[in-house]
Structure 1
Amino acid sequence: MSAGNLTQANRVLQKENDREIPERMQLPSVSTALLLASGIGIIEALALYFGAGLFLNIMGIPSASPMHNPSQRFLSLRALGAPAVVVSLAVQGVFRGFKDTSTPLFCLGVGNLSSVFLLPILIYYFHLGITGAAIATVVSQYILTLLLIWFLNKRAVLMPPKMEDLEFGGYIKSGGFLIGRTLSVLMTMTLGTSMAARQGPLAMAAHQICLQVWLAVSLLSDALAVSGQALIARSFSKGDYKRVKEITYWVLKAGVFTGVSSAVVLSACLGSLAQFFTKDAEVLGIVRSGMLFVSASQPINALAFVFDGLHYGVSDFSYVAYSMMFVGAISSAFLLYASSIFGLYGVWSGLALFMSLRMAAGFLRLGSKTGPWWFLWDFPN
């Protein structure tokens, strides 16, 4: 190599060395979130593992039921994945704060693909049945969580130098409201499943198919909620209320369009889609009777999720929590009454009422001109 080439190479190397290497961010809130998530996940895992039988009895699946032993085995194994689930949700929230949705999408894709790969191998090749399903799900959850933490570690220091730097106070203040909100949702949804389980194995199987399709399609609107939350939080923190109003109206319109489109698609293909879950004619007959519940409620579900995102964007956590507790209490009372009279139709009606009241609470807050939405009517469209 000539002297000129060596000089040029040295210059290139010097430029590379002189470039500022971005340092990982010191964010105590991130470490706080991970520690709290880990603690909650471990507690949840222990409770589910050792209390699986008790929980199933409460859910209306007694020891004499043919569903009890398989359910207990599945729940006990799935409990081992609870820490991974809770931590992954916390890390996804951190990436949302970074306005980075591509990294969680990639990690979720890898995690889900690993589950798709492992499920048929463990269930059919190794003949593990429901045990194989639980193992495949838990392994995929830990793959997802480890990937998320690996990417997060590149951007932020995951442990602060001193424990006093952890921001537990802020999390307890705002997180307490969200915990109350989440518990209300879980209790209502769990009560619905419990009431369905009391209708027998066939009704329970049909309910689970309808519920999984209902939730999977409804959660497509969660992407709108997350986007709206991130965009609104940024503009709201800057005091750009006109921009917040524009984003709010756009997300609501998109939510209506998504919900109506989902309803049309589901009403046309739910019967065929259900056959991917089971070939049992009796179960499929019950699933078809739930088509109205699954499809017609999609616009309501979409707006309910969108409103949650909007409220989170302006940090209206207290209203979200209190309204959800109120809505959950009314819906739970209706579920108990309606399911005892109308069976599975009462369960589906109760869940539809739950989402309708969530949507109504969102409309009420935006239309009240109070709280963090005081500005919503002060700017022209």
Structure 2
Amino acid sequence: MEMNGMERLFEEAKDSLFLIKENNCIKRNKAAAELEAAYPFPLEKILEIARGEGCMLHSTMEKCLDCEVRSDWDQAAFPFVLENKAGEQEQFSGSYTMIDHKMALLSIRRVAVQNRLQQVIQNKRLIEYVNQAHENERRAISQELHDGIAQSIYSLMLETRQLKWCEQLAELPSKLQKIDEDFVALLGEVKQLAVDLRPAALDDLGLIPAIEALLHRLTEATGVEIHFIPMIENKRFVESIEVITYRVLQESVMNSVKHADVNELWVTLSEQENHLVLTVRDHGKGFDLQKVNGHSHGLGLLHMQERAESIGGHLGIQSEEMEGTTVTLHLPMSYLAKRASSSEKR
């Protein structure tokens, strides 16, 4: 019997299509049959993932618990991995759509090779950037220790030794005063190095005081006037929220200072729909987002984005040439509270 138009469309579709009724496949197209032949897999496991009874990390609800993957699940496009007969793994994307209260359509397609390649390239660039950033930090710390602190200690050592040959006792108090002042300056260098590595204010006082201290130091060092407007009360957040907000702010401000040619910056911190929201805005040169990819500036933006996404957040960047740039960071506080609560229960 000749197929009608809808049947032909179903049969010749490039996606693997499974018509599901009461948890059983009642019809599959040609692509689905070829998929099952190449990748032997239990269809019920894919259906569990599609219905939210498990995820790509855990096969059942009991194992999944409050898994962050499942909490953000989308039946319209969920990822999973299948293994072929040779033991090689491939990434797939599934879609599960209810037709009526008994019937559903499961669609499966292989993730495009180009998409995977782009992801690999992006990850490689990010790893290279992070490694280079770490190496630059080590180089800067090494140079600071050698040229700054080590030289200061050597000078103090010589001054202290000279006291043994001081024949004029009247000069001793002034020389001791000079040594004392040099020790104070050295202590200041050590403290500044410690602040650069990990701001004590972030641990001791919280996010807002740490931001105020950071912006004050940057204003003194660069001459750029930075207006900070906290629209929330000073309170503590989950550590990962505070650290990521602080580091994204630090990099955003330095990007504006280095590249935007500005005299003023505006920074706000607020809460919106259970998200902590940081914005950094300038009216400088701006840039074309497409053109910075692959350069250090673009990798810096990518690094900030990866920081945000690591805890379920989002980084938005709006910029136009000669119109300025706005960086907006959204971090979900409820998500992290849930993660913390789940960890405590376990």
Decide which structure has greater strand share.
Answer: 2
The higher relative CO (CA closer than 8 Å, separation ≥ 6) is in: 1
The bucket for the TM-score relative to the shorter chain is under 0.3
Query: What TM-score results when the alignment is normalised by the length of structure 1?
Result: 0.22
Larger Rg: 2
Decide which structure has greater helix share.
Answer: 1
